[in-house]
Amino acid sequence: MSAGPKARAGLIALRGIAIALSLVAGLGAFWLFLQFGDADGLDALDILRALLILISTLWLAWGAIQALIGLTSFARPPAYDPAAPIRGRTAVLMPVYNEDPLATFSRVAAMDASLAAIGDPAEIHFAILSDTRNDTIARRELQLFAHLVEDRNGMGRFFYRRREMNTGKKAGNIEDFITRSGGAYDYAVILDADSLMEGETILQMIRRMEAEPRLGLLQTLPKVIRARSRFGRAMQFSASFFSPIFARGLAMMQGETGPFWGHNAIVRVRAFAESCGLPPLRGRPPFGGHVMSHDYVEAALLARARWIVRLDDDLGGSFEEGPENIVDHAKRDRRWCQGNLQHSRIIGAPGLRAWSRFVFAQGIMAYIAPLFWLGFILASIAAPLLAPPPDYFPEPYWPFPYFPPSAASKAIGLAIGIFGLLLLPKILIAARASWTGRAKGFGGAGLAFLSTLGELAFSSLTAPVLLMYATRSVFQVLLGRDGGWPTNNRGDGTLSLSESFAAAHWIVTIGLLGLIATYLFAPGLLLWLLPVGLPMIFAPVLLSWSSRPSTGRLMGVPTEYSPAPVMLLHDKIFADWTAALEHGAPDAAAPEKAHA
């Protein structure tokens, strides 16, 4: 049931405390830096740097406090009957766009097999919604769809259609289905092409929808699986080990105005149809045109219509795959950057809930935050050039020089505080995992702690490179460059040194120029900036090394030690289909009959 007045008051108090603590951390960093700058006399550049530190620290503190909130509570299911008979009809939607049909269609087969193994009489259909532009892949989709229908005896339960025009990208693809066929269903589970869900998870999502008539959207927390590269496994470990705690904090703070991440979620079709129409924004991309990061906008529109949007982070059995190298991650992040900055056109839309506007602001801040750090670094390098020379004889006729007291302790304290906001939440998560026994799934307490340290080291190395890609994305959007909707690269993501250099040579140049400028103009900062500059100079090596296969147990996750049942089903079906298709392609006309 929806929250009562007492719960709403508690939610408002929790949000207020989180915002207040973030402000305290930001203002504390601002004050410390002013104290540091005042040692040799404040100037305008000192105040600018203090403001940049305030904003950046406030953002870091917000993430840390979200983790602390998650650490102080445990995910619990809402009140509902997990064995209640399901009354409504559900469509499981998988949008595809130039994907490998064998991998995606076999995932659909695995989810159907997982449902069949339970034997629940719920009426659940699968619809593959193709926006594929490549005709060769489209023909392969028809062939694999025929094989899917035949293999799963799915006539009347599986559907396929390919749009002639992919207007609105994924959001338009879903909208097209809702408009044409949504009236036949009560609920729709929305997936990505790399999504995989246990049948039991799908059934419990439907039951939770039926237990709360005001629930418009229920988002699960997907875990990353099947990562092979060093980069992929680091992201996989982070998503499995750290993300549930951050998601718990997010769920507590968002309440009934929760997130939608565009996949591995279920919507009430009527609510979605009534509330989530997305007309193109006026003007040209990147700020105009079709809404790219549509998921957060759809969540906000549902909340505006007083539907509950909830993150049920207690639900397991929800999986996805991730990019295998930094370049592919940066390409995907470029699309998200454009979509989030586009929300600056939407944040003032009439009728939105205050928290929805705050979420839009957070999304925008997530991408412009690197600019504040970059601005702080540049201002710090320029400070010695612009600062007035020290005056060691401030008192006329006083024969002895005056040396200002050292403010090194304040600078060190500020650095410790900032690094603490970055590192402490993850260390605390590792400690709690050991205490609760959750670390057993990650190889035990000792290995989980070593994996945490390994992830911290890896993320510290890659952070400057990712910061540069994110900064470039922001500037490209601000300069009016449309990034479009590139195809996701799946499978082997190994990068050669030449490929890595082609993707990161500009980062090498900026890193070299930055360290040279620091040595010439602010040599006292050189040691502090080496952890930023060196990963940039060696970015091609880092890109190539991190894209290569990872071996060993470090940063292992539970699905590697004990794969989920639906993963085993998918492996078997994929292998069986591969062997079957090697002996001849199925009839390409069969899908048309099945679709009819």
Predicted local confidence at residue 387, as pLDDT:
62
Predicted local confidence at residue 589, as pLDDT:
41
Pair of tokens at residue 545: 């090394």
Predicted local confidence at residue 1, as pLDDT:
46
- Residues forming beta bridges with residue 224, ordered by sequence position: 320
- Tell whether the torsion through CA atoms of 184, 185, 190 and 193 is positive or negative: negative
Predicted local confidence at residue 388, as pLDDT:
59
Cα–Cα distance measured from residue 567 to residue 559, given in angstroms and rounded to the nearest whole number? 9
Residue 321's φ and ψ, nearest 5 degrees, are -110, 160
- When the pLDDT of each residue in the chain is averaged and rounded to a whole number, the result is 90
Cα–Cα distance measured from residue 483 to residue 344, given in angstroms and rounded to the nearest whole number? 17
Structural domains in the chain, CATH included, are 89-223+255-321 (3.90.550.10)
Pair of tokens at residue 282: 């006026």
CA angle 568/569/572 to nearest 5° reads 85
Q: What is the DSSP letter of 283?
A: S
Q: How is the beta sheet containing 187-190 ordered, strand by strand?
A: 158-162, 123-130, 89-96, 187-190, 265-268, 215-219, 308-311
Inter-residue contact 203 to 120 (CB < 8 Å): yes
Predicted local confidence at residue 226, as pLDDT:
95
Predicted local confidence at residue 389, as pLDDT:
57
Predicted local confidence at residue 39, as pLDDT:
66
Splitting the chain (596 residues) into consecutive groups of 10 residues, what average pLDDT does each group show? 74 93 93 78 84 91 94 89 96 96 97 97 97 94 95 93 90 94 97 97 98 97 96 96 95 93 97 93 92 95 97 96 95 94 95 95 92 88 70 53 49 72 93 95 96 96 95 94 76 90 97 94 88 96 96 93 96 94 58 43
Cα–Cα distance measured from residue 325 to residue 323, given in angstroms and rounded to the nearest whole number? 6
Predicted local confidence at residue 466, as pLDDT:
95
Pairing of strands 196-197, 318-320: antiparallel
Q: What is the per-residue DSSP string for 79-123?
A: S--TTPPP-SEEEEEEEESS--HHHHHHHHHHHHHHHHHHT---E
Among candidate residues 395, 225, 405, the one with its CA nearest the CA of residue 320? 225
* Distances in whole angstroms, Cα of residue 395 to Cα of each of 38, 181, 398, 401, 567: 18, 84, 6, 9, 77
Pair of tokens at residue 588: 């390409």
Amino acid at 64: A
Mention every residue, 6+ apart, whose C-beta is less than 8 A from residue 114.
197, 198, 199, 200, 565, 566, 569
> 153-210: per-residue pLDDT in tens?
988 899 999 998 888 889 999 999 999 999 999 999 999 999 999 999 999 999 999 9
